[in-house]
């Protein structure tokens, strides 16, 4: 009676590969049948795993084959060679210990070894060679990625771009305005779920909040080609300015429930309970739906709480005190600006922003000049806006501190996220004690 075995076939990457060097599933199956005839085996099943790395010990088919041996359903595993079985010496030896410990064996169509010490040594050398080949392939792939990044070729095409004849990214006339619109909406404090809904309505492929988060964090939109730690700046035309990209990276306060309260009040993640030290959460209640911060610690005996508006007003009053006293120069929060130079730079940046918005919205012009020339025009205007915003930052840096400018930024330019970030850096601690007395007597605030 012949011995039952399971065949195992693995291909690292398929992707349309062909030719003599490609170990196709069909070729591996033929070789498994050949070793079965040679060893007097019966192949009861062939498990195929395509696009599966030999260095991955979590491969479900590979593990199922090993478990079939352990359960006694088959007496071994037949493969084309050990590199198909595993390209990790450590994982292969662990698997072989399980198989041989159950009385099983691995059969190779192109390699032979016995159970002697020298045979096991030969087997381990073959496994080492398989791992070396895998490591060399990984190094070669990394080198190829590095060359591509150095030439400014991005590995994937993000929404909003297409490839030109040189495989570099260029703005897509249809997708680029939607990407820019998403960044603008986020910079104004709009929730990612709302941005995803807007993109769906526009027919964009980015349709979920998670997709929007990935898009907003993709450095390709600032003109970078990157893959892991490989980065090349100015590899292709940016779709958003540096300033806009940075504004959209600011993490706001984590929403509670619908997020409406978190979008109105500023001390989430800053205010803490005096009794247990936990961060206070936002909620609303009562007949008027008044918002308040409160401690959610079930084991806290003296849960701190405070009216949300009252606490925000108290902390802001303390944080603004250095500004009213003219101490801007001594504070990290000093917002440079003021003077005619800064005002002129602000006007130039605003003009550049309006010019870009107007250009991107001109559907008729896109049809007249064609998509390629329209994309070039969009890239030029993004570069002009980048330069104008850089000039504005430089003008503010060169000018003296201005409380008036800070007031304008707070009231007009900054969104909720920027205000929360400013407070988080200004306020070292904000500790709230349980009680019904005056707010000033129950709250201890320490500024940085």
Q: How many CB atoms lie within 10 A of CB 388?
A: 22
pLDDT at residue 338, as a whole number: 41
Distance between CA atoms of residues 332 and 328, nearest Å:
8
Q: H or E element: which one contains 322? A: helix 308-324
pLDDT at residue 192, as a whole number: 84
Question: Cα Rg for the chain, rounded, in angstroms?
Answer: 32
Burial readout 291-319 (b: 16 or more C-beta within 10 A, e: otherwise):
bbbbbebeebeebbbbebebbbebbbebb
Token pair of 377, please? 């025009």
Whether residue 267 contacts residue 423, with contact meaning beta carbons closer than 8 Å, is answered with yes
In the sheet that 271-273 helps form, which strands lie side by side, from edge to edge?
Answer: 271-273, 427-432, 443-447
Distance between CA atoms of residues 274 and 262, nearest Å:
21
**Token pair 């070793």 is at which residue?**
35
Q: Up-side HSE of residue 139: CA atoms within 13 Å toward CB?
A: 6
- CATH number of 3-146: 3.40.50.1390, 3.10.20.30, 3.40.50.10860, 1.10.3720.10? 3.40.50.1390
pLDDT at residue 212, as a whole number: 87
Indicate the pTM of the whole model: 0.36
DSSP SS3 for 273? strand
Beta strand 230-232 with 225-227 is antiparallel
Token pair of 345, please? 């730079």
Distance between CA atoms of residues 4 and 42, nearest Å:
5
Distance between CA atoms of residues 25 and 22, nearest Å:
9
Measured on CA atoms in the order 207, 209, 214, 218, is the torsion positive or negative? positive
pLDDT digits 0-9 by tens, 211-228: 888 888 888 888 777 655
pLDDT digits 0-9 by tens, 300-333: 888 888 888 889 989 888 887 766 655 443 333 4
φ/ψ of residue 271, rounded to 5: -70, 135
- The CATH architecture that domain 161-249 belongs to is Alpha-Beta Complex (3.90)
Per-residue pLDDT of the chain (448 residues; tens, 9 = 90+): 468 999 998 887 655 444 444 457 788 888 888 888 888 889 999 998 888 877 788 889 989 999 999 999 999 999 888 878 887 778 888 888 898 899 998 888 877 777 777 777 777 777 776 666 655 544 544 555 555 555 555 557 888 888 877 777 788 888 888 888 888 888 777 888 888 888 988 888 888 888 888 888 888 888 777 655 566 677 778 888 777 777 777 554 343 334 566 678 888 778 888 888 888 888 876 556 688 888 888 888 888 888 888 899 898 888 877 666 554 433 334 343 344 556 677 777 777 777 777 777 676 777 777 767 777 777 777 778 777 777 776 665 554 445 555 666 666 667 777 788 778 777 888 899 988 778 888 889 888 7
Token pair of 161, please? 């771009």
Whether residue 396 contacts residue 334, with contact meaning beta carbons closer than 8 Å, is answered with no
Q: H or E element: which one contains 10? A: strand 3-11
| Local structure of residue 44 (DSSP, 8 states) | E
Which of 96, 56, 90 minimizes the C-alpha distance to 76? 96
Domain map of the chain by residue range? 3-146, 161-249, 254-333+406-448, 336-400
Alpha carbon 420 to its chain centroid, in Å, reads 22
**Token pair 């390699």 is at which residue?**
111
DSSP string, 336-362: B--HHHHHHHHHHHHHHHHHHHHHHT-
Whether residue 443 contacts residue 311, with contact meaning beta carbons closer than 8 Å, is answered with yes
Beta strand 305-307 with 427-432 is unpaired
Whether residue 11 contacts residue 52, with contact meaning beta carbons closer than 8 Å, is answered with yes
Q: H or E element: which one contains 446? A: strand 443-447
């Amino acid at each position: 009676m012949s011995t039952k075995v399971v065949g195992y076939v693995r291909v690292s990457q398929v992707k349309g590969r062909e030719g003599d060097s490609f170990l196709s599933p069909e070729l591996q199956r033929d070789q498994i049948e050949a070793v079965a005839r040679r060893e007097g085996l019966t192949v009861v099943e062939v498990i195929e795993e395509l696009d599966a790395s030999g260095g991955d010990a979590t491969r479900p088919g590979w593990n199922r084959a090993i478990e079939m041996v352990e359960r006694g359903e088959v007496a071994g595993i037949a493969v084309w060679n050990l590199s198909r079985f595993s390209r990790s010496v450590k994982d292969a030896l662990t698997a072989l210990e399980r198989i041989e410990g159950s009385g099983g064996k691995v059969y190779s169509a192109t390699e032979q070894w016995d159970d002697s010490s020298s045979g096991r040594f030969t087997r381990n050398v073959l496994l080492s060679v398989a791992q070396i080949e895998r490591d060399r392939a990984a190094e070669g792939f990394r080198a190829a990625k590095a060359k591509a990044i150095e030439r400014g070729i991005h590995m994937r095409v993000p929404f909003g771009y297409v490839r030109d004849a040189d495989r570099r990214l260029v703005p897509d006339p249809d997708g680029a305005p939607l990407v820019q619109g998403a960044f603008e909406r986020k910079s104004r404090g709009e929730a990612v779920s709302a941005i995803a809904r807007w993109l769906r309505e526009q027919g964009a492929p980015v349709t979920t909040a998670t997709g929007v988060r990935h898009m907003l964090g993709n450095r390709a939109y600032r003109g970078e080609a990157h893959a892991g730690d490989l980065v090349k700046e100015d590899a292709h035309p940016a779709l958003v300015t540096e300033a806009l990209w940075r504004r959209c990276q600011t993490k706001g306060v984590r929403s509670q429930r619908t997020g409406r309260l978190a979008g109105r009040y500023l001390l989430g993640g800053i205010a803490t309970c005096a009794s247990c030290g936990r961060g206070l959460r936002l909620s609303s209640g009562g007949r008027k739906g008044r918002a308040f911060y409160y401690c959610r610690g079930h084991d806290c005996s003296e849960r701190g709480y405070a009216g949300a508006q009252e606490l925000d007003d108290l902390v802001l009053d303390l944080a603004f005190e250095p500004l009213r006293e003219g101490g801007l120069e001594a504070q990290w929060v000093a917002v440079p600006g003021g003077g005619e130079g800064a005002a002129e730079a602000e006007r130039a940046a605003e003009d550049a922003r309006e010019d870009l918005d107007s250009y991107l919205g001109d559907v008729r012009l896109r049809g007249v000049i064609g998509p390629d020339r329209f994309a070039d025009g969009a890239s030029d205007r993004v570069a002009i806006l980048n330069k104008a915003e850089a000039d504005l930052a430089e003008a503010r840096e060169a000018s003296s501190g201005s409380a008036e400018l800070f007031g304008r930024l707070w009231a007009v330019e900054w969104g909720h996220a920027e205000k929360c970030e400013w407070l988080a850096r200004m306020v070292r601690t904000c500790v709230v004690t349980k009680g019904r007395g005056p707010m000033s007597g129950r709250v201890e605030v320490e500024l940085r």
